[in-house]
Amino acid sequence: MNTAFLINSVQQASLCTNSNSEHLICSVKATIERYKKANTDTSNTGTVAEVNAQYYQQESAKLRQTISSLQNSNRTLVGDSINTMSLRDLKQLEGRLEKGINKIRARKNELLYAEVDYMQKREMELHSDNLYLRTKVAENERGHEQPMGMQMGAASTSEYDQMAVPYDSRNFLQVNIMQQPQHFSNHLQPTTLQLG
């Protein structure tokens, strides 16, 4: 295909006259450049594609071999293909399995000790919280017992103290909903309101 392209270009160049010699030289140079470019593009494209294909074929062969090796190793570890193993291979397999089991047990023990340590710390925290709550309950119970004692002491106080209206430090009237309301209207005369 490339040779046909070159022959066609040369035939077109030979048809040109001498008066067009400058144009002929430029046309031939352009044709040669196009040929070189087309030739290198197709050869490079083919080479790159071939290299890529070879690379992927090699990689897929390596992966197939790795998969096969892992499947065989897995069958051996599970015990499916031990019938064909020699005594030496069986001893090596047993040693590898014992090492693996020891690592598994060591890791399991680490996790169990960490869990026990966490639970002991949590137990101490809960014990501390329990003590705190018990002291708060005891303080609350003492707070409820104290007003009852004050009410018994208040019964022995004078009548004047009982009639006094207590105020808190913010000058608000304190109202106890447990006491009977005091009526001061006994001394006042009712007045009539006339609308009109």
Task: Encode pLDDT of 99-120 as tens digits.
Answer: 999 999 999 999 999 999 999 9
Query: pTM (2 decimals)?
Result: 0.39
Q: How many residues does the chain have?
A: 196
pLDDT of residue 71: 93
Mean pLDDT, the chain, whole residue set: 74
What parts of the chain have a pLDDT lower than 70?
A: 1-26, 38-46, 147-196
Of all residues in the chain, the percent with pLDDT exceeding 70 is: 57
Domain parsing of the chain, residue ranges:
1-84
